[in-house]
Amino acid sequence: MNTDGDEQKRAGQGSEAMADDQVLNDLEGEGRDGEVAAGWYSDPAHRSHARWHDGRHWTSTIAVDGAAATDPAGLEGIDSSMPVVLVPERRSLDRSERRAVKAGRRAVRDAERAHAVAIAAAERAVRDAEISRSNQLQIANTQLAEAESPSGKRIGEYRGVILHERTLTTPKGGTVWLRGCSADVESGGNLSMSHRPTLTRLAAGGLLFGGIGMLGSLAAQKREVADKRELYLLIQTGEGGMVLQCPPDDGLIVRQFAMAINAYARDVDANNVERAAIAASSRAIIGRISADTSEVDTAMAAVERLRHDPTHLAAIERAKDEVLALESGHQHGD
């Protein structure tokens, strides 16, 4: 008996010979002194057509489509007491049987794909839970930062003037408290006539923040006819004020900005109470979310259950067994 040749086949060098049923069956079942001759025998685990026996022990080398391969399951379910049976004679499959084998292999792929899709869906649920938790924490932290900020939440901006819940920031970067602030929008002529005392006082006291070049003439000259095309935003604070020239087409925008300044200046005390409540609520939410990981934990546990789900795994194994039976030319138990 040529055991050296058999060793070559086991190493994958005799894949063509393995496809020959005669070669697979030319081994004697028993050697001298009760030893088993090394060679290919029927796989006792029924995971392939044949499995290599080294003369003493079963190995993890199996025959797949006439070539040597490693059994992914290794020696699981196999022990040395299992009988050594010659590979049964195989006949060529007819057309219908070949179609059945092809369909069986497709069923294996479908079962494996269904398992993979179920796992992928569960993993997406984990990511969604993690993203949701992260977003909730981010929102709560943002609300807390705004509530605890001295200026409060940012409300809006117009031409470099930034309105917060408690402060105004000038175009030059100065900050004034909203308490006592007021805002008006006027045309150039109306501004010089209706607010002339205010402009004169602010200019004389050097209290204009971010003033414009023509303020001197606006404060000093009394116009007889109002210029309706020139538009100005006048903001007065407890410390001074500012005048900004606005594009004539900004009439609606600048008036809405002035209304917002007046509203937040009027409600500054009520807003302070609301901000304190928001800060307390945000801290409570952050503490609760940080301590509660149950949604993510549940999703992760579902992934692990699906990885080892007996229903999916059994479906895959049944499909593989059907293919093996068809390829072997006999049903298990025959």
- Identify any residues that bridge with 28 across adjacent strands, giving them in sequence order: none
Centroid of chain to Cα 5 = 55
- 21: tokens are 């049923």
In angstroms, the Cα distances linking 51 to 9, 45, 84, 151, 264 are 12, 9, 10, 77, 83
- 190: tokens are 């109306």
Give the pLDDT confidence score for residue 77 in this predicted structure.
79
List, in order, residues 6 or more apart from 104 with CB less than 8 Å away.
319, 322, 323, 326
| Alpha carbons 196 and 108: distance in angstroms, whole number | 89
Give the pLDDT confidence score for residue 225 in this predicted structure.
44
Strands 154-158 and 67-70: unpaired
The CB density around residue 229, as the number of other CB atoms within 10 Å, is 8
Give the model confidence (pLDDT) of 247-287 as tens digits: 888 989 999 999 999 999 999 889 889 989 999 999 999 99
Centroid of chain to Cα 227 = 58
Residue extents of the structural domains in the chain: 3-90, 92-142+293-334, 149-285
Backbone angles phi, psi at 319, to 5 degrees: -65, -40
Give the pLDDT confidence score for residue 228 in this predicted structure.
55
Nearest alpha-carbon partner for 158 in 175, 146, 171: 171
Q: Do residues 37 and 27 touch, judged by C-beta distance below 8 A?
A: yes
DSSP 21-59: HHHHT-S-S--GGGPPPSEEE--TTSSSSEEEE-SSSEE
CATH code for residues 149-285: 2.30.29
Spatial strand order in the sheet of 182-187: 182-187, 231-236, 241-246
Residues of the chain where predicted confidence (pLDDT) is lower than 70: 1-35, 65-66, 88-93, 188-229, 239, 328-334
Give the pLDDT confidence score for residue 68 in this predicted structure.
85
Give the model confidence (pLDDT) of 208-225 as tens digits: 444 433 344 444 444 444
Give the pLDDT confidence score for residue 326 in this predicted structure.
77
Nearest alpha-carbon partner for 181 in 259, 123, 99, 117: 259
Q: Do residues 186 and 230 touch, judged by C-beta distance below 8 A?
A: no
Give the pLDDT confidence score for residue 322 in this predicted structure.
85
Residue with tokens 């087409």: 249
Report the C-alpha dihedral over residues 200, 205, 208, 209, rounded to 10 degrees: 180
Tell me which long-range contacts 267-276 makes (C-beta under 8 A, separation of at least 24): 268/165, 268/166, 268/178, 268/179, 271/152, 271/165, 271/166, 272/166, 275/146, 275/147, 275/152, 275/165, 276/147
Nearest alpha-carbon partner for 244 in 147, 158, 323, 118: 158
Give the pLDDT confidence score for residue 81 in this predicted structure.
75
Q: Do residues 250 and 281 touch, judged by C-beta distance below 8 A?
A: no
